[in-house]
Amino acid sequence: MAPYSEAGLQHEQPFCISGALNPTDMTQRTIPVELKLSNTNPLKSRTGCLVLPVANQKKLTGTTALADKESGGYLRKILKQNDLAESPGATLVLHNVPELDAQRVLLVSAGDSKKVSPQAFDRMTTATAVALSTPGIRDCVSCLNDLEVDDKDLTWQSRSLAQALVSNTYKFDLHKSVKASKRTKFDGKATIFVSQRSLNKSVEAGIVQGTAIANGMSLARDLGNTAANVCTPTYLGKEAKRLEKTFPAIKTRLLNESQMEKLGMGALLSVSAGSVEEAKLICMEYKGAASSKKPVVLVGKGVTFDTGGISIKPSAGMDEMKFDMCGAASVFGVMQSIAEMKLKMNVIGVVAAAENMPGSKATKPGDIVTSMSGKTIEVLNTDAEGRLVLCDALTYISKYKPDVVIDIATLTGAVIVALGNHTTGLMSNDDSLAEDLYTAGVEAQDKCWRLPLWDEYEKQLSSNFADLANIGGRSAGTITAGCFLASFAKEYKWAHLDIAGVAWKQGGAKGSTGRPVPLLVQYLLNRS
């Protein structure tokens, strides 16, 4: 975006957006950040904080250069003292800058590169949201859009800032008897400066997208963070009904165990057999286009708690198995995001929800179950249950005649060994779909990496007693799990996202991340 000229300054626009949904009490809440745009000279704004980008400390540009000139060279004087690091996202707060009406000026470094990369800009917006969390800052004006970001437009830049500001407000205190009373995050009015009125629609679109993505991530995080004795398959069903009530474009259908049994979903039901919690197949249908348009179908693994069943897990860290439904949570998050944006396409979100417990009726290692497809499966390990709930869902969704199908699951620990906690594992039976997902991940800074689905790996799933086994041995565990699912997805273009490494954090920052909501929403935006 080209920096504005003072002669082109115009008036503030009325556009603003705020609001989100809270799944934990089934009521609507308001996210405390109010986002709006303005064409008014930011240097004359009586704001709590004026946010200025610094792309080159020796040669300031855009609004930052004008602010320096207005202050009699004060900004350059400060920068010469090297108090602002040149790494992307470094920040420096200045108080009472001469001749500026803002109470504070927040300088945000874009790094020392000639071009501002999307990664650098994302770091800048995230750092801005954190820096604004100072208790005294109640409102701000951002001029970050002065920068030109490599291969990105103004909509993308505005989305990055909106998403960062709204995401930064996230907190989860559902289970705390005493709620946090201190203000620890920015929750005021954020104004995005736009140099020309002709650019307003681009910024508005970015604000809507960024807010919707952040709200979808918050929903996914809420569901993932909720304790497993609360967030059961039945709870997820009620959450789906809440979305239907909130967004008229979403219609929800719930299948109970009796209905699934009639459909022959023996694989899915084998997982819930040991639990008193009834499994659910949750179908959320979003209609944003003509019925003739084939839908994108998202299928989420919704194991609300995974003990491992009879193949029980070690006790250390088992509490984190409430996050085994984060694939399902991401489907909920995406459905909310696209409904908020009123995306003009058809999307169906299907969640296979079950609890995996070692009860007296639980499936045992060596048991053979019959899937909805008719294929028989030897269950060699009851802790490889995600693929069992998903395979029946993948068969069921063929009724929708989908254009593409993407399943999302915390499926294997092996993907963490392969890709760490930064990258989602991707497998697909269609090269163009895989490329589109990879591209969307890069655009959304929610990356994935493709792994192969070759015939050699399928052989590891052979069984002496059934059509296939549910595990393929120790080697290539992520790939053989993908191969298992691929055998149930031959009728359509399909991709599998293994999010076991990215869906939640451990340690002091323990909690759901809301990934891969940004990746999936970006993919859908690109299609629309």
Active site residues: 313, 387
* Block residue for tokens 């490329």: 435
Residue 86 φ then ψ, to 5°: -90, 5
Number of alpha carbons in the 13 Å side-chain half-sphere of residue 415:
29
| Cβ neighbour number for residue 498 with a 10 Å cutoff | 34
Contacts of 353 (CB under 8 A, 6+ apart): 233, 236, 237, 279, 280, 281, 282, 302, 303, 304, 325, 328, 389
Per the structure block, which two tokens stand in for 90? 């470094």
Quote the CA–CA distance of 500 and 263 in Å, as a whole number.
29
Helix and strand element counts for the chain (H, E): 15, 22
Quote the CA–CA distance of 326 and 499 in Å, as a whole number.
8
| Cβ neighbour number for residue 80 with a 10 Å cutoff | 11
The answer to whether the CB of 488 falls within 8 A of the CB of 406 is no
Quote the CA–CA distance of 65 and 57 in Å, as a whole number.
10
Number of alpha carbons in the 13 Å side-chain half-sphere of residue 29:
15
Residue 176, amino acid: K
* Cα Rg, the chain, nearest whole Å: 25
Question: Per DSSP, what are the bridge partners of residue 88?
Answer: none
Residue 313, amino acid: K
Quote the CA–CA distance of 57 and 44 in Å, as a whole number.
23
Q: Is-cis flag, bond preceding 358, omega within 30?
A: no
- If you count them, how many residues does the chain have? 528
List Cα–Cα distances, 77 to 29, 223, 265, in angstroms: 45, 49, 70
Per the structure block, which two tokens stand in for 445? 């800074």
The answer to whether the CB of 332 falls within 8 A of the CB of 226 is no
* Block residue for tokens 């004006």: 141
| CA 371 centroid distance within chain | 31
Number of alpha carbons in the 13 Å side-chain half-sphere of residue 11:
1
| Cβ neighbour number for residue 361 with a 10 Å cutoff | 10
Question: Per DSSP, what are the bridge partners of residue 91?
Answer: 108
Q: How far apart are the first and last CA of the chain?
A: 24
HEC secondary structure over 325-389 = HHHHHHHHHHHHHHHHHCCCCEEEEEEEEEEECCCCCCCCCCEEEECCCCCEEEECCCCCCHHHH
